[in-house]
Structure 1
Amino acid sequence: MALIKGFHRSVGRNVHGKITCRHKGGGHKRRYRQIEWERQEASAKVAAIEYDPNRSARLARLHYANGKKSYILCASGLKIGDEVIAGKNAELQPGHELPLGAIPLGMQVHSIELVANKGAQLVRAAGCFAVVVAKSAQYVALKLPSGEIRQMPANAKASIGRVGNEAHAQRKLGKAGRSRWLGRRPTVRGSAMNPVDHPHGGGEGRCGIGRSKPLTPWGKPALGVKTRKRANIYVLRSR
């Protein structure tokens, strides 16, 4: 099975072609790398470390003994020729995958499953990691990159170490054109618009927004508004 395939990006439009997420569009053509979020084989060799245009992390291409190939997120310190192992008896080495219940306290992990055997959903961006802070028979508490402490099932799996390409956060785009390559369209300040286009618009010369709090173009509160509607029983401490 091919690991790379073409795909069409929605660039902020819905099925009717209407813009539902502003400031998206254009950008360089990309192909999608199919990543093995839940590893099916026990052991593999790292054959290459590759760039992925769809995410900030690098990918490690694995070659299995049976001839199968797959991609995983490249952990920091993982090198070509290294062996990565998945299973509860695997060593605590970067890139190895274990159940959370088998990982000791204080260990850094990434590519974490929210539900056992569903595939990694958390901590997948470059340089990110979570820390195991508490354990019980059924749950393991992790401190996530946001500062939130959340408990996960002990049989959910995670990879050891932090995601590689830590220097991504220090990257400078350098020019507006590079933002366009990434598919980011310009963002115009509301205060630079006319009153008909934005609540912050209008006025003579540069001036404040003229109201007690900033608003979206549609008149709804813009900053400091909570977006989580319900408390999650698995969140022990919010961010």
Structure 2
Amino acid sequence: MGRVIRGQRKGAGSVFKAHVHHRKGAAKLRHIDFAERHGYIKGIVKDIIHDPGRGAPLAKVAFRDPYRFKKRTELFIAAEGIHTGQFIYCGKKAQLNIGNVLPVGTMPEGTIICCVEEKPGDRGKLARASGNYATVISHNPETKKSRVKLPSGSKKVIASANRAVVGVVAGGGRIDKPILKAGRAYHKYKAKRNCWPRVRGVAMNVRTLYLIWSVLRDVKDAVYFIKIIKTIMGIPVEF
């Protein structure tokens, strides 16, 4: 008799809807504009906040709106070492300081970066988890491509115009602290998705008896079935 395995059961039901009602918002880089392409734009870190369901803290950075007389607040993934009141510079001519956003092609080889764009203008897709970072390996001025080493260890060739944040994502060492009790794991995954608790397959003892009964369900002799059960349990029996 067949059984629907765990992976198949997870796909059943309605389409999964992420638990985003209590989250602070999407953490992305600025929309690329004239100021970033040809110079830089200055922002200031207003606050560093916790985002439920995310390991890394977020930074609220206020920029001057280039088209209207007002401020525009962006949510950045906080780099380790930034603080409230710090100025953040975004653009081609920004300095190479922690938290600034520059094109990868303008950074020297060996620079530690995070929140890297996979394609120009996608506002950051790679190396975004807490404590993660990528490393600039080399540049090719002829093809306008750069080679970076990702947190997984794999190396990827991206366009030199792709932007990235200088530094390491804050919140590193999060997985080094033991959870210790089930209550903390419950609250951790409640903010993420329904994937806890996860029972090990080897701990499912009843499954063995169920398999035997499914094989011998047509056997009329119940005594023979009991003898098989005793044999599995290590009790000596005579057939």
Same fold (TM over 0.5): yes
Code of the aligned partner of 1:55: R
Deviates more, 1:58-67 or 1:46-55: 58-67
User: Superposed, which structure 2 residues align to 1:104-119 within 5 Å?
Assistant: 104-119=108-123
Equivalents in 1 of 2:152, 2:72: separation in Å?
A: 36
Q: Is the 8 A contact 1:49 1:59 kept in 2?
A: yes
1:71-150 mapped onto 2 (5 Å cutoff)? 71-137=75-141, 138-150=144-156
Query: Between the two proteins, what is the percent identity of the paired residues?
Result: 26
Runs of 4+ in 1 over 6 A off after TM superposition: none
Q: CA deviation at 1:171?
A: 2.4
Count matched residues.
184
Q: Which residue does 2:177 correspond to in 1?
A: 171
Q: Is the 8 A contact 2:42 2:63 kept in 1?
A: yes
| Change in CA separation of 1:169 and 1:16 when aligned onto 2, cut-off 3 Å | closer
Q: How far apart are the structure 2 equivalents of 1:147 and 1:168?
A: 20
Question: Of 153, 163, 175, which residue of structure 1 is paired with 2:159?
Answer: 153
Give the 3-state SS of the residue equivalent to 2:56 in structure 1: coil
Structure 1 residue 186 corresponds to structure 2 residue 197: yes
Corresponding residue number in structure 2 for 1:6: none
Q: Which one-letter code corresponds to 1:132 in the other structure?
A: V
From 10, 14, 22, give the equivalent of 1:31: 22
Deviation at residue 172 of structure 1 after TM alignment: 2.1
3-state SS of 1:180 partner? helix
Displacement after TM superposition at 1:186 (Å): 1.4
Change (3 A) 1:90 1:205: farther
Determine the C-alpha separation between the residues in 2 that align with 1:29 and 1:121. Answer: 19
Specify the structure having the higher radius of gyration (Cα).
Answer: 2
CA distance in structure 2 between the aligned counterparts of 1:118 and 1:177, rounded to whole angstroms: 38
Q: Give, in whole Å, the separation in 2 of the partners of 1:167 and 1:112.
A: 21
Pick closer, same or farther for the CA change 1:204–1:139 going to 2, 3 Å: farther
Match of 2:173, SS state, is: helix
Give the alignment's TM-score, normalised by structure 1.
Answer: 0.69
Alpha-carbon offset, residue 182 of structure 1: 2.0
Q: Quote the Cα distance in structure 2 between the aligned partners of 1:144 and 1:96.
A: 19
Task: Kindly provide the amino acid, as one letter, of the partner of residue 67 in structure 1.
Answer: K
Q: Distance in 1 between matches of 2:20 and 2:117?
A: 30
What is the TM-score normalised by the length of structure 2? 0.69
CA distance in 2, matches of 1:189, 1:81: 48
Deviations 1:54-94 (A, max 9, x none): 21100111122332212101101101110101101111111
Shift of 1:190: 1.2
C-alpha distance in 2, partners of 1:79/1:52?
17
Contact 1:35–1:70, Cα closer than 8 Å, also in 2? no
2:112 is matched by which residue type in structure 1?
Q
Shift of 1:53: 1.0
Please, which runs of 5 or more residues in structure 2 have no aligned partner?
A: 1-8, 36-40, 65-69, 190-194, 212-228, 235-239
Partner SS for 2:23: strand
Give the AA of the match of 1:70.
Answer: E
- 2-side partners of 1:63 and 1:175: how far apart? 39
User: What is the aligned-residue RMSD (CA, Å)?
Assistant: 2.8
